[in-house]
Protein backbone atom coordinates (compact mmCIF):
# COMPACT_ATOMS: atom_id res chain seq x y z
CA UNK A 1 0.00 0.00 0.00
CA UNK A 2 1.31 3.47 -0.83
CA UNK A 3 1.06 6.42 1.50
CA UNK A 4 1.92 9.81 0.08
CA UNK A 5 3.61 12.15 2.51
CA UNK A 6 3.85 15.86 1.81
CA UNK A 7 6.14 18.23 3.68
CA UNK A 8 5.56 21.95 3.15
CA UNK A 9 7.96 24.61 4.26
CA UNK A 10 7.20 27.23 6.87
CA UNK A 11 7.26 29.94 4.24
CA UNK A 12 5.26 27.79 1.87
CA UNK A 13 8.08 27.90 -0.66
CA UNK A 14 8.83 24.22 -0.98
CA UNK A 15 6.62 21.18 -1.25
CA UNK A 16 8.30 17.79 -1.28
CA UNK A 17 6.38 14.62 -2.08
CA UNK A 18 7.54 11.05 -1.73
CA UNK A 19 6.04 7.60 -1.65
CA UNK A 20 6.82 4.90 0.87
CA UNK A 21 5.68 1.36 1.43
CA UNK A 22 6.11 0.84 5.17
CA UNK A 23 4.34 -2.42 6.10
CA UNK A 24 2.72 -1.10 9.29
CA UNK A 25 0.99 1.88 7.64
CA UNK A 26 -2.75 1.37 7.13
CA UNK A 27 -4.27 2.63 3.91
CA UNK A 28 -5.71 5.99 4.95
CA UNK A 29 -7.11 6.64 1.49
CA UNK A 30 -5.91 10.22 1.18
CA UNK A 31 -2.39 11.54 1.40
CA UNK A 32 -0.93 12.26 4.81
CA UNK A 33 0.18 15.85 5.27
CA UNK A 34 2.96 16.66 7.70
CA UNK A 35 3.76 20.32 7.24
CA UNK A 36 5.27 23.23 9.04
CA UNK A 37 2.59 25.93 9.14
CA UNK A 38 3.19 29.63 8.66
CA UNK A 39 0.81 30.58 11.49
CA UNK A 40 0.01 30.55 14.32
CA UNK A 41 2.98 28.36 15.31
CA UNK A 42 6.24 29.42 13.71
CA UNK A 43 9.50 27.57 13.24
CA UNK A 44 11.86 28.96 15.90
CA UNK A 45 15.61 28.52 15.75
CA UNK A 46 18.34 29.71 18.11
CA UNK A 47 21.85 29.06 16.89
CA UNK A 48 23.65 28.41 13.63
CA UNK A 49 21.21 25.95 12.03
CA UNK A 50 19.22 27.66 9.29
CA UNK A 51 15.54 27.35 8.39
CA UNK A 52 16.51 25.73 5.08
CA UNK A 53 18.66 23.12 6.87
CA UNK A 54 15.74 22.21 9.13
CA UNK A 55 13.30 21.98 6.21
CA UNK A 56 15.67 19.73 4.26
CA UNK A 57 16.32 17.47 7.24
CA UNK A 58 12.60 17.05 7.94
CA UNK A 59 11.78 16.49 4.25
CA UNK A 60 14.41 13.73 4.10
CA UNK A 61 12.45 11.80 6.77
CA UNK A 62 8.96 12.41 5.38
CA UNK A 63 8.24 8.68 5.09
CA UNK A 64 9.02 8.15 8.78
CA UNK A 65 6.74 11.03 9.78
CA UNK A 66 4.04 9.46 7.60
CA UNK A 67 4.35 6.16 9.45
CA UNK A 68 3.77 8.03 12.73
CA UNK A 69 0.66 9.83 11.53
CA UNK A 70 -1.06 7.24 9.31
CA UNK A 71 -3.00 5.35 12.01
CA UNK A 72 -4.11 8.56 13.68
CA UNK A 73 -5.32 9.98 10.37
CA UNK A 74 -7.10 6.74 9.47
CA UNK A 75 -9.07 7.07 12.73
CA UNK A 76 -9.52 10.86 12.41
CA UNK A 77 -9.99 11.59 8.69
CA UNK A 78 -10.89 15.26 9.20
CA UNK A 79 -7.90 15.94 11.47
CA UNK A 80 -5.91 19.15 11.18
CA UNK A 81 -3.61 19.11 14.21
CA UNK A 82 -0.45 20.97 15.20
CA UNK A 83 2.36 19.22 17.06
CA UNK A 84 5.31 21.40 18.10
CA UNK A 85 8.52 19.47 18.77
CA UNK A 86 11.53 21.07 20.45
CA UNK A 87 14.97 19.59 19.81
CA UNK A 88 18.68 20.36 20.06
CA UNK A 89 21.17 20.12 17.19
CA UNK A 90 24.66 19.45 18.53
CA UNK A 91 27.86 20.65 16.82
CA UNK A 92 28.41 17.15 15.38
CA UNK A 93 25.08 17.49 13.50
CA UNK A 94 23.18 15.01 15.67
CA UNK A 95 19.74 15.72 17.15
CA UNK A 96 19.15 15.29 20.86
CA UNK A 97 16.38 15.86 23.40
CA UNK A 98 13.33 15.90 21.10
CA UNK A 99 10.19 16.62 23.08
CA UNK A 100 6.65 17.54 22.13
CA UNK A 101 6.13 21.04 23.51
CA UNK A 102 2.48 21.27 22.52
CA UNK A 103 -0.06 19.28 20.56
CA UNK A 104 -3.66 19.75 19.56
CA UNK A 105 -3.90 16.04 18.67
CA UNK A 106 -3.80 14.71 22.21
CA UNK A 107 -2.47 11.40 20.92
CA UNK A 108 0.55 10.24 22.96
CA UNK A 109 1.26 7.28 20.65
CA UNK A 110 1.60 9.49 17.55
CA UNK A 111 3.46 12.20 19.46
CA UNK A 112 5.97 9.71 20.89
CA UNK A 113 6.52 8.28 17.41
CA UNK A 114 7.14 11.78 16.00
CA UNK A 115 9.66 12.45 18.80
CA UNK A 116 11.52 9.27 17.82
CA UNK A 117 11.94 10.45 14.22
CA UNK A 118 13.77 13.65 15.15
CA UNK A 119 17.02 11.98 16.35
CA UNK A 120 17.30 10.43 12.87
CA UNK A 121 17.52 13.89 11.26
CA UNK A 122 20.97 14.82 9.99
CA UNK A 123 22.53 18.28 10.03
CA UNK A 124 25.92 19.58 8.91
CA UNK A 125 28.62 19.90 11.55
CA UNK A 126 28.92 23.36 13.08
CA UNK A 127 30.76 25.19 15.82
CA UNK A 128 27.88 25.44 18.30
CA UNK A 129 24.58 24.06 19.56
CA UNK A 130 21.26 25.13 18.05
CA UNK A 131 17.79 24.76 19.54
CA UNK A 132 14.74 24.36 17.34
CA UNK A 133 10.96 24.43 17.88
CA UNK A 134 9.42 22.73 14.84
CA UNK A 135 5.64 22.92 14.31
CA UNK A 136 4.14 20.04 12.34
CA UNK A 137 0.63 20.21 10.92
CA UNK A 138 -0.87 16.73 10.69
CA UNK A 139 -3.92 16.21 8.49
CA UNK A 140 -5.32 14.62 5.34
CA UNK A 141 -4.44 16.17 2.01
CA UNK A 142 -7.18 17.22 -0.25
What is the DSSP pairing of strand 32-35 with strand 3-8?
A: parallel
Output the DSSP codes for 71-122.
HHHHH-TT-EEEEEEEEEE-TTS-EEEEEEEEESS--HHHHHHHHHHGGG--
What is the rounded average pLDDT for all residues in the chain? Answer: 78
Q: pLDDT truncated to tens, each residue of the chain (142 aa)?
A: 333 444 443 333 232 333 333 334 434 443 445 555 554 568 999 999 999 999 999 999 999 999 999 999 999 988 889 999 999 999 999 999 999 999 999 999 999 999 999 999 999 999 999 999 999 989 866 5
Where are the domains positioned within the chain? 3-140
Q: Is residue 85 within 8 Å of residue 134, measured between CB atoms? A: yes
Global model pTM greater than 0.85? no
Amino acid sequence: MNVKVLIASVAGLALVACKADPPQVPDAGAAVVVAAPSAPAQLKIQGVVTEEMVKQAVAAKSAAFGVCTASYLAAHPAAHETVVVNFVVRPDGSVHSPAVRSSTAGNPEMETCLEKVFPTLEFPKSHSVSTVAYPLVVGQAG
